Amino acid sequence: MQVFLADHAGFCFGVQRALSQVEKAVQTPGAVYTYGPLIHNPQVVERLNRLGVAVIDDLALVTAGRVVIRSHGVGPVVYREAEQRGLAVVDLTCPFVRKVQAAAHQFTATGYQVVIAGEAQHPEVAGIVAWTAGKALVAANAAAAENLAVRGRVALLAQTTLQRSTFREIEVVLRRKTVQLTVQNTICSATVQRQEAAGELAGKVDVMVVVGGRNSSNTRKLALICAAAGVPTYHIEEPNELCSQWFERVSKVGVTAGASTPHWIIEEVIHIMTELNQEQKQEEKVISQDEAMENPVVEAAAEPEVSTADPEPVTTEGQAASLEPATDPTPELDATATEPEVEDMGKSFAASLKELKEGDLITGVVVKVSHDEILVDVGGKSEGVVPLREVAPRIPDTAEGVAQVGDEIKVVVLKAESEDGTMVLSRRRAIEREKILQLQAVKENGEIVTGEVIAVVKGGLRVDVGIMGFVPASQIERGYVENLEKYVGQTFRMKVMEIDSRRNNAVLSQRAVLEEEYQEARTATWQELEEGQIRKGTVRRLTNFGAFVDIGGVDGLLHVSELSWGRVKHPGEVVKEGDEIEVYVLKVDREKEKVSLSLKQVLPNPWTTVVEKYPVDSIITVKVVRLTPFGAFAELEPGVDGLIHISQLANYRVNKPEDVVQVDQLVKVLVLDVKQAERRISLSMREVEQDFDEEESAEYADEEIAPEADYDSEE
């Protein structure tokens, strides 16, 4: 009889991590509790209980100590209650479950109706629903999804251990029932790998033995998958349940195990099956599924001697699905050939960890962070190294601060073994892979992505959207852009145009967003635009005759004559491109789509105060601004001009105004008349000169008399 061990059998990464952390916790003083059984394996739970780890389902039972949150996770109420009771929490929620919780919480907060594809009574699903404040709906299959009352925006998430086929069936139903559906496939890839490996091995052997707790959903589903392959399948929880009658006249036996099954139980199962074959006295081997038909582990007599109670074989009634929060770095059994003794079997089992290949996406734990690298434990023969250039899409100055010891991070294997024997990893490429998937979803949904412009490159801009994206120059603004440097450091809102998953980059467009918003604003503006309104606008372009102002998707002309109450030679004297101003709507021509605007109409009219500011007979200083044959116009203030008639330019006959004054000359004038309603002010230089001559003559006369008086007084 040959025994074959399936790939991906035994503890998943999340379970192994949880068990290791609890075993460490019990080595330090203080009580340790798990909120619910740590894993779905009674033997492991019993072993932990012997170590002093108690299982609770009510925090009121704990007065002091540490409470472990198992990998299935819990709702926020549990965390709050633990904090209120002053209990220390050791959170061992599977990172992938935590991701689903966060997504469910975020979707609910933004107005989505969340639907969880999974088993409503499963603790993982219960915890996810709790993160939506109980608002999420749950569907275990397509039939249940048909009965859901959904409307508005719907977000579909999955229990991490759901079968992909079931998830797709539920998605099909929801797409038919709702207009807007956002889908996030949150099923663990390692779950699928374990199921596929078990199903493949079941097709090559005569009997399958599935090892794991009977209350473990993922183990039950493994058994159903094997039974569906048409091979007799036996689900056992403990090694002593093996029955010799199962293997009569059997030449090939396959073994697989659920994600909550510890290695020592699998080793014991293999050991007992080895003893069943001792009469044959052939060299026994345990091999991986990849070598299944070529390198048998155990060759023994067809008449095994060990027997136990014979449970009913597993049938295909019910659903075959998987339950196990797992990741690529899960230690997987490859079962190398060794001596038949138990101790040697244990050694071979420990040495059977999966060999990582270049390009594999795995999850590891940060064990050290230095200036130029990060060391990550990925469950291999040694830690892997993430060099500084592979730490992030934008290479940081130092790796310190990018990650902390104990962090779980995803990495891609660049070199399984470099020249010096170390494994080289890339966090950057893992981030890029994940971001590419997110960008594909953003593109499909027509959503907007934000990113910082980090550099000007040939033909456009490079932007950071989690990966390095490219915005062509033609896709930056709605119009032509000449200077690209000014955009560096700005944050763009963009649409995803193209994605190159092979090179991990994307082509994006800010123009698409601006154009879409412009058209929406334009339609709304035309609907509400009326003459006499005061509207806010942005100066977009200057010309010699005025400025064009965007008042909400509609460009209006602000003529140079409407810029100010005073004289303006060029619009640049008053406004500049980019200025946000308030303007008065003078005229709206919907047929020709033309709008005339005024800035001076929203400014104070200087003519309203001229009577008070420039009373008749007052002398003021003015600037000559224009000459005519009949006189000179002088500016009292911007927007207020007065006329110095040619007859009032001097106290002698003047043939031409330019014989007396020049443009821009400052002169003193007497206010002769103010007609506010007609906006006319009459001024006189002659009257000021005449008054000056009289004063000067009087002063001269005083100076002539004063010395005589002084002389007389001296006499």
Round to whole Å and give the CA distance between 482 and 463.
Answer: 18
Structure tokens at 193: 């790998």
Q: Which of 119, 124, 267, 432 is catalytic?
A: 124
Tokens for 199, please give them: 């199903």
| Helices and strands per DSSP (H, E), number in the chain | 15, 32
Active site residue 124: yes
Measured over the CA atoms of residue 68, residue 69, residue 75 and residue 76, the dihedral's sign is positive
Q: Which of 660, 680, 658, 683 is nearest to 672 (CA)?
A: 683
Q: Rounded to whole angstroms, how far apart are CA atoms 140 and 158?
A: 10
State which H helix or E strand residue 336 sits in: none
Structure-token pair, residue 109:
């907060």
Contact yes or no for 681/606 (Cβ under 8 A): no
Give CB contacts under 8 A, 24+ apart, made by 377-383: 378/329, 378/411, 378/423, 378/425, 379/13, 379/329, 379/330, 379/331, 379/353, 380/353, 380/356, 380/423, 381/353, 382/421, 382/422, 382/423, 383/423
| Helix (H), strand (E), coil (C) string for 379-413 | CCCCCEEEEHHHCCCCCCCCCECCECCCCEEEEEE
Alpha helices by DSSP H, listed for 455-532, are 510-528
Question: Cβ(231)–Cβ(206) under 8 Å?
Answer: yes
Q: In the chain, what is the straight-line distance between the N-terminal and C-terminal CA atoms, in Å?
A: 157
Q: Report the distance separating Cα 640 and Cα 680, nearest Å.
A: 9
User: Reduced to 3 states, what is the DSSP secondary structure of residue 22?
Assistant: helix
Cβ atoms of residues 557 and 597 within 8 Å: yes
User: At 300, which amino acid appears?
Assistant: A
Question: Phi and psi for 643 in degrees, rounded to 5?
Answer: -105, 125
Between CA 315 and CA 146 the distance in angstroms is 28
Asked if 492 contacts 471 with a C-beta cutoff of 8 angstroms, the reply is yes
| Look-up of token digits 């830690």 | 383
Enumerate the β-bridge partners of residue 585.
Answer: 597
Pair 55, 39: CB distance under 8 Å: no
Distance CA 370, CA 375 (A): 8
Angle, CA 200 vertex, CA 198 and CA 204 arms, to 5° = 110
Q: Nearest CA to 650 among 663, 669, 627?
A: 669
Known catalytic residues?
Answer: 124
